[in-house]
Structure 1
Amino acid sequence: MSTLNFALKNQTGSNTVYAYITGQAIDNNNALFLLQADGKTAYYPTSPSATQTALAQDCAIPLGASGSTKTVTIPHIAGGRLWFVRDAKLTFYLNPGPALVEPSSSNPSDANYNLYWDFCEFTWNSSQLYVNITFVDFVSLPIALTLTNTSGTSKSVQGLPSDGLATICTALKTQNSKDSAGWDKLIVTTNGNNLRAVSPNTGITLDNTLFKTYYDSYVDQVWSKYTDTALTVNTQGSAGDVTAKVSNGKLTFSTGSISYDQPSTADIFSNSSGAFAVSGDATKDAITARLAAAFNRSTLLTDTNQPNGETVANYYQDAVTNHYSRICHATTSDNRGYAFPYDDVAPTDGADQSGSVYDPNPQLLTVTVGGASSSNSTNKSVNQGDTTTPSQGTQKKSRFAGLKKVMQKLSRKR
C-alpha cells in the first residue's frame, strides 16, 4: 500500500476550517511535500530564487461546515504535520532549498501569529504509521486521533475537550497566583480572547527574562541528594541500567565518560540546550532523555530509579515542576499528550503520556479538530494536579523516546 486515507473531522463550531499537510515524501527522495487543496494531489515545490516566496499551489484543504468530514489521501511521509486553522487560511513560504517556512507561535511578526491554528505530527513509512498530538510549542485548537488498522481494531487519543484552552489558561493563572513564577505570561490573547497557551520553552523565546532561575533550587537539591546516593537510569536500550553520583560538581555515570553539569531552567524546558544538548552518543542521549523527563516531572528527589521507579502518581508533585505540562495532561480527556520533547519517556511497559498512536497496518486515521462538546475536567482538580493513571496506552515507550525531537528536526526547516 503506497497511499493512506486520513478522515479530517471539523468539530470546531466554525464553518470555515482549513487543513494543510506537509512533510517529506519518502518515495520521492524525501522531497519537500505539501498536499494540494483537493486533498489528493501532491505538490513538490522547487527551490525559489528568493526567501519568503509564496507557494505556487493552493494547499488549503477546506473541511466544510462544522460536523463535516473531509477524506484526504497521502503517500509515505516522514516528519509530517497536519495543520488546522479556524476562520482564516495559513500562510506558508518557501526559502531556497527548497525549505518550508512554517507558521510560528514564537514570532509575533509572523503572518499567522494572531490566527487560531494548531497541528499534530505523523510519520508513515513501510514499517508503521506513527501519530501524536503535541503541546510542546503551544496549545490552541483541540485535536483528537483515532487510528483503525486493517483488522478493524482502533486506538485513540482523546486530546483536549472543546473548552480545553480556557481551562488551561485559568489553571495557569491560578498556578501563578501561588508561586508568582510567570505562568500567566504563557497566555497569548487577541482582542481580549485566549488565542493560545505557549509552553515554557516558547515563552522563554518570547520573553527571555521568563523563568530565568526557576529550577535552580530544585537542581541544587538533586545534586546534593546524588552526592551520597546513587542514581540509576534505565536506558531502555542495549546499555541497560547505568548508575551515577555527583563528583566534582558533575553528575558522573559509571559507563564511559558520560557526565552532566547542572542544567539550567532553559535546558530543562527545552530538553536540547546546555547540559541536555544532543551529543550523538546513543547511550548519553538515552540518559539525557530520561533525565530531562525526570526534571520536567520533578521525580528525581522521590525516585532514585529513572524511569522505572516512577509512577504517574509521582509526576509533577514538587512545587517546582513543569506546571504547564502538568496542567495540559490534567486537562486532556485521557491525560495524554506531548507537553515537552521527551514526554514519550515512560517506565518499561508503563502508561503512555505522549498522546501517540501507531500501527504497522493502518487502514484509516481519523483526526478530529474542535474537541468534545463538554469537558470532563470538572471531575478533575486541574489546579492541584491530576494523578490518575491513564486507562489507555501501556506500550513500551523506549523505542520512541526522543522521536519527537527527530520529527521536529525533519519538519521545521526554514
Structure 2
Amino acid sequence: MISRRAFLGASAAAATFPWWGCGIASAATPDTVKVAFDDRSGAGETYAYVTGIAPDGKVVILKADGTPYNPPSPSADQTPLAEDCAIPVKSLPQLSVPKMAGARIYVVTDAKLDFFVNPGPALVHPSFVNTADPNHGRNWSFCEFTFNDAVLFANISYVDFVAIPMGLHLKTTGSGDQTVPGLPAASLDPICDALRAQGGAWAELVDAGSDGRPLRALSAQHRADRFTGYLDGYIDSVWQKYSGSDLTVDSQIPGLGKFTGRVGSDGLLAFTNGERFAKPVTADVWSCNSGPFALKDGDSAARKAIVPRLAAALNRTTLLDNPNQPDDENPAKFYTAAETNHYARIVHSRLPDNRGYAFPYDDVSPGPDFSGAVQAGDPDTLTITINALR
C-alpha cells in the first residue's frame, strides 16, 4: 500500500512507503484516465472541480467543459479565477483527466465554489475553517488523487472533516476493479450526534450551517486549542512504560527492518538507529505533523517510517498496551481508551468496511487496509459516488 502522504504534494518527499514493493505494475499508465460521477445527492445541481499540479509543474484546473486550464499568475492576491471551472456533473457525468499530482476532486451541491489565484500562480482552495471564506457555508467535500506515469492513486479523506458522503470505484483494464464505499448517505447527522454525546471539546467539532443543521464535522486537529492537555495522562504513561521496557517499531519496508527504542533519562524516546523523539503533546498527535512528528527534507528513511507508526498508535491509543508496533495491533482495541481520538472512532464506526482516512497516518496497519484508497497502474475509469448529505 502506498501512503496517502506520498501524494499530498507534487512530490513524494513525505512518503511513508517507497515506490518499490508497493505492488504497482511498472508499465506506463495511459495519457488520460476517465473520471465519472454517480450523483445520488438528490440536489438540484451538483458541480465538480478537478485541480492539481501538471507534470510540467504548472497549476491545472479543468474548465466547465472538462478541458485543462493553467491559470496565469495575477498581480494581486485573491484574484478570482478567470475561467468557469464548475463542471455540471448531471450534464457532463464523465471527464477525460490528464496526469496531475497532489490533486483534488471537489463536489458541491446547489451552488458553485469560488476559487482564487495568488501570484505564482498559486490556487487558493476553499476553506472549511475560515468563516470569512465565501465557500465556508456551502455544502462541499473532496477526494484526493494523483495520476502519474506509474499509478493512479485516489483516496477518501476524513483527515480534515466529514461532509458530503462520497465513495470511489476504480475500473482497471486488467488488474481487477476496486471499491471504497465510504460513508453511506445521511451519515453526517449521526456522526455529529455522537460527537455531541461525547461532550467536552468533541461537541465543538460540529460546524453548523445557516439553517442550524450540521454542515460538516471537523477533525480535532482543527480545534486543537480546545484539546490542550487532553492526552497528557496517556502520553505520560506511555513514556513511563518505555523508560523501563523496549518499544519495537517495524518499518514494514523490505531491507529497513525493525527498530528498538527506550525513553532515556533526558526524556527522549531513543531508538538504536540513532533516531530520537521528544514527548509529543495532544496537538502533535492530532495533526501527525508537528513537534516530534514533523518530517522535513533530509530526514532518514527510518524516521519517516517510525513517525507514522508512533502517531497512528497514539491516535488509536494502543501504544501503551502494544510494544510491537504495528505488528501486534488488534483493530478491536483501537480507540478503546477513555481519552482517545473519538472523531476517528466515530467516523470508523459509520464506515461499512472500516476504510477511510480519519487521521493522516490511518494507513498504518498490521495487515488490514483502513486507508480508503484505490490504486492501479492500469486505470480505466475512476467513479466518484456522491451520496446525499441527509
**TM-score scaled by length of structure 2:** 0.89
Q: 1:70 aligns to what?
A: 93
5 Å-filtered alignment, 1:222-261, equals 222-237=238-253, 238-248=255-265, 249-256=267-274, 258-261=275-278
CA 1:99–1:107: 2 relative to 1, 3 Å? same
Q: How many Å separate the matches in 1 of 2:233 and 2:256? A: 31
1:315 aligns with 2:355: no
Q: How many Å separate the matches in 1 of 2:321 and 2:129? A: 34
The one-letter amino acid of 1:159's match is G
Q: How many Å separate the matches in 1 of 2:223 and 2:372? A: 22
Offset of residue 56 of structure 1: 1.3
1:89 aligns with 2:112: yes
Offset of residue 96 of structure 1: 0.4
Q: 2:232 aligns to what?
A: 216
Offset of residue 148 of structure 1: 0.7
Offset of residue 202 of structure 1: 1.4
Q: Gapped runs of 5+ residues in structure 2?
A: 1-29
Farther-moved stretch of structure 1 (323-332 vs 148-157): 148-157
1:57 aligns with 2:79: no
5 Å-filtered alignment, 1:12-411, equals 12-26=41-55, 29-39=56-66, 41-64=67-90, 70-151=93-174, 153-176=176-199, 180=200, 182-190=201-209, 191-204=211-224, 208=225, 210-237=226-253, 238-248=255-265, 249-256=267-274, 258-279=275-296, 280-347=299-366, 350-370=367-387
Offset of residue 276 of structure 1: 1.1
Q: How many Å separate the matches in 2 of 1:101 and 1:372? A: 25
The one-letter amino acid of 1:85's match is V
Question: Residue by residue, what CA displacement relative to the aligned partner does 1:230-280 show, whole Å, maximum 9, x if unpaired?
Answer: 000011223210001111211111112x11111000000011111211142
The one-letter amino acid of 1:297's match is R
The one-letter amino acid of 1:111's match is P
Count the aligned residue pairs: 356
The one-letter amino acid of 1:323's match is H
Q: Secondary structure at the match of 1:232?
A: strand
Asked if the contact 2:41–2:389 (Cα under 8 Å) also holds between the matched residues in 1, the reply is no
Q: How many Å separate the matches in 1 of 2:277 and 2:269? A: 5
Asked if the contact 1:159–1:371 (Cα under 8 Å) also holds between the matched residues in 2, the reply is no
Q: How many Å separate the matches in 1 of 2:81 and 2:310? A: 41
Offset of residue 30 of structure 1: 2.0
Question: Residue by residue, what CA displacement relative to the aligned partner does 1:207-230 show, whole Å, maximum 9, x if unpaired?
Answer: x3x000101000011011111110
Q: Secondary structure at the match of 1:266?
A: helix
Q: Secondary structure at the match of 1:94?
A: strand
The one-letter amino acid of 1:36's match is K
**TM-score scaled by length of structure 1:** 0.84
Q: How many Å separate the matches in 1 of 2:115 and 2:363? A: 29
The one-letter amino acid of 1:63's match is V
Offset of residue 152 of structure 1: 7.3
Question: Residue by residue, what CA displacement relative to the aligned partner does 1:132-187 show, whole Å, maximum 9, x if unpaired?
Answer: 000011010001000010027211001111111011101111222xxx3x100000
CA 1:5–1:149: 2 relative to 1, 3 Å? same
Q: How many Å separate the matches in 1 of 2:375 and 2:186? A: 27
Asked if the contact 1:147–1:357 (Cα under 8 Å) also holds between the matched residues in 2, the reply is yes
Offset of residue 296 of structure 1: 0.3
Offset of residue 372 of structure 1: 10
The one-letter amino acid of 2:83's match is Q
Asked if the contact 2:154–2:374 (Cα under 8 Å) also holds between the matched residues in 1, the reply is yes
Q: 1:407 aligns to what?
A: none
Q: How many Å separate the matches in 1 of 2:350 and 2:109? A: 21
Q: Secondary structure at the match of 1:227?
A: coil
The one-letter amino acid of 1:14's match is A
CA 1:106–1:9: 2 relative to 1, 3 Å? same
The one-letter amino acid of 1:308's match is D
Q: Gapped runs of 5+ residues in structure 1?
A: 374-414
Offset of residue 203 of structure 1: 2.0
Q: How many Å separate the matches in 1 of 2:175 and 2:121? A: 39
Offset of residue 77 of structure 1: 1.0
